[in-house]
Chains A and B, each alone.
Chain A
Amino acid sequence: MNTNQQHESDDPLRKVLHQWVVDSPLPPRFQEQVWQRIAKAEKKPEAALWPAILRLIEVALPRPKFAFVYMAALLVLGVAAGSWTAQIKTNRLHSDLSLRYVQSIDPYRADSSNQ
């Protein structure tokens, strides 16, 4: 059956469909339910995050190149964070001790707080 013939045979059906009027009311809270379904559908990719992480651990991490990069990155991160934290602590201690020295020799600064 070609397309023209199909159109001709559909004509009565089209006529009937055009005459059809929907007069039944929408179910209660129809719009709200539609939005809820949309929201549910949008949440699906988030829920798939955990399986993606598991897949990454299972598949990508055992590859030697990836494992090396991962470990090197964590080591560099740890070293940098350790040095940075130590530097902050050292600076704070030096500042505290210099104030303690000044307070020990200057009675007018003896009761002053960290400034």
Chain B
Amino acid sequence: MKKGGFILLLGLLLGTAGFLGFYYFGTSSCRAMMQDPQPELAWLKKEFNLNEAEFARITQLHEGYLPQCAERCRVIAQQNRKLKDLLAKDGTVTSEIQNLLIERAKTRAQCEAEMLNHFEEVSRAMPSEQGHRYLAWVEEQTVLRAQPMESRHNNNGGNRMMMEEPHR
């Protein structure tokens, strides 16, 4: 019994050690990324196989872009507040409200254009093949991504609903 018990325990310890060892080594790259000051950029470096020089340039572009992005967000937030005040004051859509809506749409469009410029710059800082891959991926995730407003009227949703219930 003593020998059998010892072998039983040894087997369990061996299995546990195998599990922990492979888990530890398998997640070492994750731990390294999470220790980086900007883990999302560390992920970008790994995902697009960037060397140190390319990574430094992209980090610089990223850090340069963020304050501009924050400024545009501040302007849009300001416009939203103004719109809220105007809507609360006037019961109807006045010309001032219309102008503000156009202004806000312009700011948003500028925001998207600047975002695309940034993506282009980042992709140019990468090796050609990776740059193309980055651009395709990031555009799909951002500006080309279907927003709830558009997807609400896609072929499988809105039209079918209208065909099924035409006189509602």
Where the two chains meet, the residues of A that have a C-beta atom closer than 8 Å to any C-beta of B are 54, 57-62, 67, 70-71, 74-79, 81-83, 85-87, 89-90, 93-94, 97-98, 100-102, 104-109
B12 to chain A, nearest CB (A): 7
Knowing A61-B7, A62-B7, A93-B33, the reply to whether A107 touches B43 (Cβ < 8 A) is: no
- Contact residues of A: prevailing secondary structure: helix
Q: What are some 11 contacts across the A-B interface (CB < 8 A)?
A: A57-B5, A61-B4, A62-B7, A71-B7, A74-B11, A75-B15, A93-B30, A97-B33, A98-B47, A98-B141, A104-B40
Number of interface residues of B (CB under 8 A): 49
* Beta-carbon contacts under 8 Å, B1-41 to A: 1, 3-5, 7-8, 10-12, 14-23, 25-27, 29-30, 33-34, 39-41
- Check B5 against A78 for contact (C-beta < 8 Å): no
Nearest 4 pairs between A and B by C-beta? Answer: A86-B26, A78-B18, A82-B22, A74-B15
Residues of A within 8 A of B7 (CB): 61-62, 67, 70-71
B141–A106 touching, CB < 8 Å: yes
B33 / chain A contacts, CB cutoff of 8 Å: 93, 97
Interface string of B49-82 (1 = CB under 8 A from A): 0000000000000100110010011001000000
- B104 is an interface residue with CB less than 8 A from chain A: no
| Given A94-B43, A94-B47; A109-B111 close (CB under 8 Å) | no
Known: A78-B19, A98-B47, A100-B43. 17 other contacts (CB 8 A): A67-B11, A70-B11, A71-B10, A71-B14, A75-B14, A78-B14, A81-B19, A82-B20, A83-B23, A85-B19, A85-B26, A86-B23, A89-B26, A97-B43, A101-B44, A104-B40, A106-B115
Known contacts A82-B19, A97-B40, A106-B141; is A90 also within 8 Å of B29 by CB? yes
Q: Which of B17, B40, B42, B142 has the most CB of A within 10 A?
A: B40
Residue pair B17, A89 in contact (C-beta under 8 Å): no
Q: A101–B119 Cα gap in the complex (Å)? A: 12
A105 and B3 in contact, given A83-B22, A90-B30, A97-B43 (Cβ under 8 angstroms) = no
Of chain A, the residue at the smallest CB distance from B65 is A105
Q: Which residues of A contact B26 (CB under 8 A)?
A: 82-83, 85-87, 89-90
